[in-house]
Amino acid sequence: MQDLKKHVMSFFPFAQKQLGFKRPPKLFFVNDKQNAGDTLGKTAYYEPETETIKIYVTNRHPKDVLRSFSHELVHHAQNCRGDFDNDTVTEEGYAQNDPHMRTMEIQAYQASIVFRDWEDSQKGTIYYEYLQKGDKSSMST
């Protein structure tokens, strides 16, 4: 858990800069054995009213937890921009039944690239260095 927290603290400012929000959310790690035993259990969620991210961590790989964090940070950035409206409902099926929320969920799935860019920066991969220099003509293999 200590290693996970270290990576969260490293990833957060990177994601904040990439996503462009100023207010940090509250973050809670949730241990829940019953949820962990459910193949279709929760992984994480964002509460726009309280600007809170809750991530389920029991029996999960730390990298997967960080991906969930990235996804929920996009929802936080959306909230900071005012993309959540007062009558937003996030009950079961919201991403299939509400076109606005579907668009917001699609945007949040693009958080994987933010996470990937941070991960590459931590590993010092050549691909990330090319991105930083603006050279998109080649990539390491």
pLDDT in tens, 16-31: 999 999 999 999 999 9
Nearest residue to 54 via CA among 64, 62, 46: 46
pLDDT tens sequence across 73-123: 999 999 999 988 755 555 665 566 667 778 888 888 888 899 999 998 888
| Amino acid 129: pLDDT | 53
| Amino acid 102: pLDDT | 82
> Residue type at 37?
G
The answer to whether residue 140 scores a pLDDT higher than 70 is no
Least confident of 20-24, 45-49, 134-138: 134-138
Question: Are 56 and 64 contacting, i.e. CB atoms less than 8 angstroms apart?
Answer: no
For the question of whether the overall pTM of this predicted structure is more than 0.85, the answer is no
DSSP annotation string for 75-93? HHHHHHHT-S-TT---STT
CA–CA dist 30, 28 (Å, integer): 6
